Amino acid sequence: MSDPLYRKDILRLAADAHGAGRLDEPHVTGTAYNPACGDRVTVDLAIGEDGRVRAVAHETKACVLTQASASILGRALRGASREEVEELANAIAQMLVAKAPPPAPPFSGYAAFEGAVEHRNRHRCVLLPVDAVLAAFEESEAG
């Protein structure tokens, strides 16, 4: 496939599906839905007393872009705080909208989405798993 939107890196991330599944006993669960295309991501988190992610799993019924983004989180989210996830969301948005550099490690895998810059209608797909994580943090703070 020669479309820069679906680079081999993205296809590989989606196929690897790091963190796919559900946690047996999550502390919190967050869901994000994109009504424009029907993509849905549910994220389970185990959160330590320090407010950092101890374990993550995701159930992703979505396009390849959303699956790849969820896979990056499944691989790299452990140890992150809510503030760091908010910073990640901002970094991804800046990369997609303002052509800023991709996020720093451990989230540098988002560089694979540089081909999505020209496809504004797909930006939401890339951010959807991050939105689900933020929704889980909101549930944690509400509970």
Q: What is the CA radius of gyration of the chain?
A: 14
Q: Write out pLDDT tens, residues 24-72.
A: 999 999 999 999 889 999 999 999 999 999 999 999 999 999 999 999 9
Task: State the Cα–Cα distance between residues 15 and 123, nearest whole angstrom.
Answer: 20
CA angle, 132 then 138 then 140, to 5°: 110
Chain centroid to Cα 139, Å, comes to 17
Q: Return the CATH number of 4-142, one of 2.40.50.140, 1.10.150.240, 3.90.1010.10, 3.40.50.720.
A: 3.90.1010.10
Domain assignments of the chain as residue spans, ordered by start: 4-142
Task: State the Cα–Cα distance between residues 23 and 44, nearest whole angstrom.
Answer: 6
Q: Write out pLDDT tens, residues 3-31.
A: 666 788 999 999 999 999 999 999 999 99
Q: How confident is the model over 91-104, as a mean pLDDT?
A: 94
Task: State the Cα–Cα distance between residues 142 and 34, nearest whole angstrom.
Answer: 23
